[in-house]
Amino acid sequence: MAEQTDQQAEYLEMRGLDDQHYQGLILEYLRKFKQAKRADFEKLLIDKLPQILDEDQRRHRVRNLLQKMRRDGLVEAKGLTWYLKKS
């Protein structure tokens, strides 16, 4: 059983979690701190993203997540700073 659990954990590290999970972390961060730079989100997410990606790919993934969230109306950027979108 322990071997199977280790394999499952390793699988999740390699595959990563779905975008909804990462978006939830970004939204939680913005609710708590009100604003953030992309570097803040990189610090938050880099070690949680799939291990199979190199560091540049992880940074691009963070950028792409933020852009998708902006298009979906969840967040907005003013200059280099990100905020929750006001409804």
* Rounded Cα gap, residues 80 and 83, in angstroms: 10
Distances in Å between the alpha carbon of 64 and those of 23, 58, 59, 67, 75?
11, 10, 9, 5, 13
> pLDDT 10s per residue in the chain (87 long)?
546 666 666 555 555 568 999 999 999 999 999 999 999 999 999 999 988 899 999 999 999 999 999 999 999 999 999 999 986
Tell me how many domains the chain contains. Answer: 1
The domain containing residue 54 runs over which residues?
2-84
DSSP 4-73: HHHHHHHHHHHH---HHHHHHHHHHHHHHHSEEEHHHHHHHHGGGS-TTS-HHHHHHHHHHHHHHHHHTT
Pairing of strands 35-37, 75-78: unpaired
CATH number at residue 76: 1.10.10
Give me the pLDDT at residue 18, please: 85
- The pTM score is 0.80
